[in-house]
Amino acid sequence: MATEVKSKFTKIFGEPNPLMESLIEQSPELSFPQPGTLTDGLVTDIQKNKILVDLGGISTGVISGKEAHDSMGTMKEMKVGDKISAYIIESENSDGLVVLSLRKASQEKSWRHFTEAYETGEVIKVVANEANKGGLLLEVDGIKGFIPVSQLAPMHYPRVNGADSAQILQRLQQLIGITFDVKVINVDNENGKLILSEKAAMEEQRQGALGKLKVGQKLKGIISGIVKFGIFVAFDGLEGLVHISEIAWGHVKDPSEYGKIGDEIEVLVIGIEGEKISLSMKRLVPDPWLEAAKTFKVGKVVEGEVNKITPFGAFIKLGEDINGLIHSSEIGGEEGKEPAFKAGDKLKAKIISVDPEEHRIGLSIKALTEKAEKTENAEKKED
């Protein structure tokens, strides 16, 4: 280190005399600024376009231009006498000053923090500032991070019908500005990029919750997705599915009629297979078919509204959650022709079968017309 001191002395004052050279040789070790490292110093002057920093009485550093602005807004609060940490860009410029950067110091600290989090598995907080169909993007001090869709927790995973990319992007854009708890799962040192995972950050909580979950358990959760085959519900870092057949006792046309994303609902756990969780909404209320068995008897004529027509028959609404089926063979009329009614029409039909366990009521229009025809024929014979 004495050689470095001598070199600087020579540059400023010329060759030292023997006495000065001896003093230099006996001087204590001095640490000179090294480019690419962080150094601490005291702010001695703040001007409009630059900041001067005393580096331990050995050198004076200068911070100017964009290098004075970091993500923490250090310069806004800075005053003379403050101790700061800065990144060394050059050991000496044409004015003999060490060129420093607050911007790169902040970036270096952030990178160290992310790297340490990756090595230790620490959970950190980040805020997404952009989205694409593949996931969420963020930037901290020039360091770019990415949370892939596959690494989002159930509450934020964009479940949409048919994996429609436009809908996925729309859902992801709603997450911009939200604070996420994540783990760093990959570090690209060369390009200064990170891959982050919200799912990994919740893994311990998720496994703990899964271990305590029991069939028959009632719980409250948040609707995290609605698709044509059911409703996804998130709770305690887990996610389960209320299949369309478990939403209500009656016929369900559209699951979105039973809630919206973000709603809190109560569900019943009806199945656990590994990490696949089956839930039910309808089983939390009495089965209306138990009462239906007492009300709807074979041979009874009932009236209801047509709510669905299929190739194999028509469903008739007989009560709030009770539907009966007129099979195509029981509709009557000419074979192969479309029925003479449509959805929304009121129809009368005769009950020909009741199966409360299977939640089925068989109806027949043909049985009514046949009865009417027999009555009419009998009356003609009497005449």
For residue 16, what pLDDT is reported? 55
Q: Are 255 and 230 in contact (CB under 8 A)?
A: yes
Is-above-0.85 flag for pTM? no
Q: What is the pLDDT of residues 244-263, one digit of tens each?
A: 999 998 778 899 999 999 99
Q: Which CATH architecture has domain 211-284?
A: Beta Barrel (2.40)
For residue 334, what pLDDT is reported? 67
- Same fold for the domain at 2-103 and the one at 211-284? yes
For residue 221, what pLDDT is reported? 95
Q: Which CATH architecture has domain 121-201?
A: Beta Barrel (2.40)
Task: Give the torsion through C-alpha atoms of 40, 41, 42, 48, to 10 deg.
Answer: -110
What does the mean pLDDT of the chain come to?
85
For range 75-88, the mean pLDDT: 88
For residue 374, what pLDDT is reported? 54
Give, in degrees to the nearest 5, the angle at Cα 192 between 186 and 195: 25
Q: What is the pLDDT of residues 281-324, one digit of tens each?
A: 999 998 888 888 888 899 999 999 998 888 888 999 988 778 88
**Can you tell me the distance from the alpha carbon of 317 to that of 326, in angstroms, rounded to the nearest whole number?**
11
CATH code of the domain occupying 288-375: 2.40.50.140
pLDDT over 90 at 201, yes or no: yes
For residue 1, what pLDDT is reported? 45
Give the 3-state secondary structure percentages of the chain, helix then strand then coil, rounded to 5.
30, 35, 35
CATH topology of domain 2-103: OB fold (Dihydrolipoamide Acetyltransferase, E2P) (2.40.50)
Which range among 42-51, 99-108, 277-286 has the greatest average pLDDT? 277-286
Which range among 49-53, 85-89, 240-244, 346-350 has the greatest average pLDDT? 240-244
For residue 251, what pLDDT is reported? 76
Specify the amino acid at residue 251. Answer: H
- The domain limits of the chain are 2-103, 121-201, 211-284, 288-375
Q: Are 281 and 235 in contact (CB under 8 A)?
A: no
